[in-house]
């Protein structure tokens, strides 16, 4: 990382200076990560449904996925 144009005026950059950078997750990143995790869990649950989920899927009204992941 190259430091350039330090502020406030009077701050100088020399070869001896060290910069430590801490990357912190923000709330939006955490929400996106949680959303992706839930989507993956849903997809995996659809690929290997339990007996009770198979029964619910059989009586459910609405679109379903076939073996080729196409909506029926």
Q: Residue 52: what pLDDT?
A: 87
In which residue are the tokens 């029964």 written? 55
Rounded Cα–Cα distance for residues 16 and 69 (Å): 58
Q: What is the mean pLDDT of residues 13-31?
A: 77
Cβ atoms of residues 3 and 19 within 8 Å: yes
pLDDT digits (tens, 9 = 90+) for 28-64: 888 888 899 998 888 887 788 888 888 887 887 777 6
pTM of the model: 0.38
Q: Residue 18: what pLDDT?
A: 72
**Integer-rounded Cα radius of gyration of the chain:** 26
Q: What is the mean pLDDT of residues 17-25?
A: 74
Please report which residue ranges of 1-72 form alpha helices under DSSP H: 27-47, 51-59
Residue 70 DSSP label: -
């Amino acid at each position: 990382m190259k430091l350039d144009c330090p502020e406030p005026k009077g701050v100088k950059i020399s070869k001896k200076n060290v910069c430590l950078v801490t990357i912190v997750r923000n709330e939006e990143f955490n929400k996106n990560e949680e959303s992706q995790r839930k989507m993956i869990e849903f997809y995996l649950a659809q690929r290997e449904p339990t007996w009770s989920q198979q029964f619910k899927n059989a009586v459910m009204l609405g679109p379903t996925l076939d073996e080729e992941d196409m909506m029926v």
